[in-house]
Amino acid sequence: MLSPREGETYVDCTAGLGGHASLVAPLVGASGRIVLNDVDDGNLGKAAEAVRRTGGEHCPEIVTIRGNFAELPRTLGERGIRADMALADLGFSSNQVDDPARGLSFRLDGPLDMRLDPGLKLSAADLVNGLPEAELARILRDYGEERHAGLVARKLVQARKETPILTTARLAEVVRSVLSGRSGPSPIDPATRSFQGLRIAVNDELGSLQALLAAILRGAGAPGSWLSAGARVAIISFHSLEDRLVKRALEETASRGVGEVLTRSPAMADEPEQRTNPRSRSAKLRAVRIGGALGT
Ligand SMILES: C[S@@+](CC[C@H](N)C(=O)[O-])C[C@H]1O[C@@H](n2cnc3c(N)ncnc32)[C@H](O)[C@@H]1O
């Protein structure tokens, strides 16, 4: 859907480990350009290295930008860089969730952190131990889609009075103590939804996505625009809250005459891919082609 062509500029809003960027690099070739953006400095370095490796002698120009993709359209506009293709592959990368020190996983004990951007002021522990019960319940309900958000929030407030909740294992244990037996048999750990809700809140994931979508809706062609006329933009989301926002924004590009939606329904991983890469199961890709003068 990105349809990379030689000499084009590819902007990876979420460079991660450079998997997608490495696939695009040989297609844009030495006359092309790969812009890598990530909030995680470590991943940004790994992505650049991966692109350099696959690009070899014909490596495109590589530009690295550390930051939130909410800021990226403005940064690119200021630098006079226009994307012919852009991709946002939302959420976290495997090496982040598998690192106990990041505090993202209820399967691995570690500090209750969850910040993808180490520069953020508040960690998950700050929220869990500091927010009023009603606000905690709102986060668990709205971002975690936890049906028993009120009960979980009440239990968290009781538990933190005994001792602060500072590790992923303790958070998971408190959540499970409320939910075990309530949700019926399920292959999903009862802590899953609460962890998702807190992670989304800590990283303001929906706020960042909305800012990026607004920048896509502004279209191409305007002075300082970050998208070239005909730019293809793809977004991979991993839960319904994100997918709903993406779907609505892409439909709006069409209704405003700014873009043409390339995915009638979201593209998903097929059975063999889901088997070899279970984390692809919940991924949904939607894409849009942004028009030229229409978007001005
Ligand atoms: C699913 S991974 C991307 C994997 C990548 N497509 C690849 O092929 O390796 C998501 C990445 O996005 C980064 N990220 C998440 N939210 C971000 C944001 N708001 N701004 C910039 N980077 C973000 C994470 O740090 C992580 O490295």
pLDDT band at 293 (very low <50, low <70, confident <90, very high): very low
Measured distance CA(104)–CA(87) in Å, rounded:
23
Residue 124 tokens, joined: 């998950």
What is the SS3 string spanning 278-292?
Answer: HHHCCCEEEEEEECC
Q: Report helix, strand or coil for 54.
A: helix
Asked if residue 266 has its Cβ within 6 Å of ligand 1, the reply is no
Q: Given a cut of 80, is residue 108 above it in pLDDT?
A: yes
CA distance 236 to 251: 16
54 backbone dihedrals φ, ψ, rounded to 5°: -80, -30
**Any ligand 1 atom below 6 A from CB of 199:** no
Mean pLDDT of 165-181: 94
Q: How far is the CA of 222 from the centre of ligand 1 (A)?
A: 27
Q: 151 near 142, Cβ under 8 Å? A: no
The pLDDT tens digits of the residues spanning 14-46 come to 999 999 999 999 999 999 999 999 999 999 999
Kindly state the average pLDDT of the residues 277-292: 92
Determine what percent of the chain is predicted with pLDDT higher than 70: 97
Residue 61 has pLDDT above 80, yes or no: yes
The span from the CA of 223 to the CA of 221, in Å, is 6
Cα 90 to ligand 1 centre (Å) = 6
Dihedral sign (CA 79, 82, 85, 91): positive
pLDDT at 131 (0 to 100): 98
What pLDDT score does 296 carry? 37
- Ligand 1 contact, 93 CB (< 6 A): yes
Q: Whose CA is nearest to atom 13 of ligand 1?
A: 14
Q: Using most ligand atoms within 8 A of CB, pick from 2, 10, 14 the residue to mutate for ligand 1.
A: 14
* pLDDT tens digits, one per residue of 131-168: 999 999 999 999 999 999 999 999 999 999 999 999 99
Number of helices (H), then strands (E), in the chain: 12, 7
Q: What's the mean pLDDT in 253-279? A: 94
> In the predicted model, what is the mean pLDDT of the chain?
94
Read off the amino acid at residue 244.
R
**Pair 90, 242: CB distance under 8 Å:** yes
Give the model confidence (pLDDT) of 188-228 as tens digits.
899 999 999 999 999 999 999 999 999 999 987 777 899 99
Closest CA to 73 of 37, 47, 46: 37
- Tell me the pTM: 0.94
Question: Does 202 contact ligand 1 (Cβ within 6 A)?
Answer: no
Ligand 1 atom with the shortest distance to the CA of 15:
5
Nearest CA to ligand 1 atom 4: 16
Given this model, what pLDDT does residue 292 score? Answer: 58
Q: Where are the beta strands (DSSP E) in 116-192?
A: none
pLDDT for res 91: 94
- Model confidence band, residue 294 (pLDDT cutoffs 50, 70, 90): very low
Which helix (DSSP H) or strand (DSSP E) does residue 9 occupy?
Answer: strand 9-12
Domains and CATH numbers, the chain: 9-90+205-295 (3.40.50.150), 101-202 (1.10.150.170)
238 lines ligand 1 (CB under 6 A): no
Q: Is 14 in the pocket of ligand 1 (CB under 6 A)?
A: yes
Q: Whose CA is nearest to atom 8 of ligand 1?
A: 19
Checking if the pLDDT of 295 tops 50, the result is: no
Distance from Cα 14 to the centre of ligand 1, integer Å: 4
pLDDT higher than threshold 90 for residue 185: no
Q: How many residues does the chain have?
A: 296
- Determine the average pLDDT of the residues in 237-261: 96
Q: What is the per-residue pLDDT across 38-57, written as a single tens digit (0 to 9) for each?
A: 999 999 999 999 999 999 99
Q: 148 alpha carbon to ligand 1 midpoint, in Å? A: 30
